[in-house]
Structures are given as C-alpha cells and as structure tokens.
Amino acid sequence: MVDTGRTIEKIKTVGVSLRPYSPELKDYFQELKDYLKQMGIDTLIDESSASMIGVEGLSAETVFELSDYLISIGGDGTFISLARRSFKYQKPILAVNLGNLGFLTDVDSNEILKAVHRVNEGDYRIDQRMVIKVTTEIGGEENSFYAVNDIVIKHMFNKMTRINLKIDGVLANKYHGDALIISTPTGSTGYNLSAGGPVVFPYAKNFIFTPICPHSLTQRSLVLPVDFDIEFSVEEEDAILIGDGQDTVKFGNKDKIKISMSSKFVHVIHRKDRNFFNIVRDKLGWGDS
C-alpha cells in the first residue's frame, strides 16, 4: 500500500460519472444523490452521464473542478476513463464496481452508501498510482498525452510490425510480432495479463513490456524501473499507438515515441483494510485447488 496521508478537508461537493449505455442506473444515482444530500453534500454529474439517465448535468471539466472528490460507477473501464479525463484536476476517485472482475474498483455496488459515509467520516486512505507520460516526435512536432493503464504499439492494418526498443540510448530489443503492450502496474491486470504478462504490485513504479504473438519464442515480458530513458521506433510506415484504448496516434519509421513516469499520479480512495493480495486471490482464484 502507498497511503499518501492525503485527506479531503471539507466535503461539500461530489462529482459522479456513470458507466456508458446504462440508463438503468438512474434510480441508483438518485438514491446516492439523496443520501449525500442528507449529509449536506451536493452531487454533480457530467453531461454525458446525465443525458443517459435523463437528468441535468454539467460539463465534465466543471464537475472535475468543483468536486472535492469523484465517484466512478461502473467497472474498471469506467474508472480508467474518469481517471484519464480528470487527471489534470488531481481529484481523488472512489470507484464502484458494477462489472464482473473489478481489480481497480474498490466498492461493490450494494456498498456505495456505506462507502460514501466512511469517506465523509474520514475512514479511508488515498493511494496513488503511477501514470505513463507518452511523448511523440512525429514529423518534427512534439506532443504528449497520458495513459493510466497501458499503451499499445501495432500496425494500423493488423500486419506484423517491427518495434525497436532503446534504453538509455542503447538498442535493447527488436520486437517482431503483432503488437507490444507497455503497461503500468495498474494496467498489469488488464490487457497485459490477458496477453500472458506478469501481475505487478499496483503501487510499484515500473513499466511492463509484453509482446503479443512474437515471432521469436525467446521474447518474454520485461519489467523495468521507471528511471531509464525509454524510446521506441518502428520499421514500417503505418504504425499506431493506442493509449488506454482511447487515444490513437499514427506514426511511421522516421518518428519516435518516448515514455516516462508522469510527475503526477492518479489518486484513489480505498478502504483502510483493502489488501491487493486478497483481491488477486479472489479475482484470479490463486490458491484454489
């Protein structure tokens, strides 16, 4: 655990984001809103979620700016989306699980009222999770964006691709295969795990490189600390980089992709007794005979 010691001084306003395509969440949201109102707390909801359930909402940016903390109601994907969109506002997030697996979401759907009560009473901890800063140098222009879970490098037409990895300026590997996943420890239990990559303790500061269907049987996942200078290039013209399944950047063999750990983190509200190893044992069935 990485308890930051951070607390929310005075809770006056909470922002809510709902899982897309789930209009059935209207009554669930209303119950939460009424409960928070009893505690003297205002509830804001972003326009996208609001229109889905037929209520009034505010722009996501306004919700993020005005809220003391945020609640994501859905699954891991809903949490990742909210974490990405609200990243620059650095607001703590309480994640409610309506999905099946829920590695990242801390609260079961039937416990949400207890959870917000605990937060209001100060019975919680705020942990921080690292984020990838992706810097692209394409056509002489430099841009950057952030990924909470992972980035994927692949051929845009799903052909084989050749990806060169440089570490501190030295060519460390040439990946030849379908794609390469670069994940955070948070993302290690997502696409990376499905592709045969390792589970990494979520509060570690590492990058995990996992090739997808490599042409060489000796290619395996690589876990590196974040202190290295890491750069990627490809040998084809039609490559794409996908961040958290959302941001897509096209690049070619004259361009460069660099990654580093962001100086800012995603801040997640957890129960004080939350234990990562209990979660993976439950979700992955570790120890079952």
3-class secondary-structure state, position 225: strand
Q: How is residue 281 written in tokens?
A: 């044992």
- State yes or no: is 288 an active-site residue: no
HSE-CB for 14 with a 13 A CA cutoff: 25
Whole-angstrom distance, CA of residue 286 vs CA of residue 263:
34
Residues 6 or more apart whose Cβ sits within 8 Å of residue 204? 185
DSSP string spanning 125-186?
Answer: EEEEE--EEEEEEETTEEEEEEESSEEEEEETTS--EEEEEEETTEEEEEEEESEEEEE-TG
3-class secondary-structure state, position 204: coil
Catalytic residue among 76, 106, 244, 255: 76
The end-to-end CA distance of the chain, in Å, is: 28
The residue whose two tokens read 């995603």 is 266
Q: Catalytic residue numbers?
A: 76
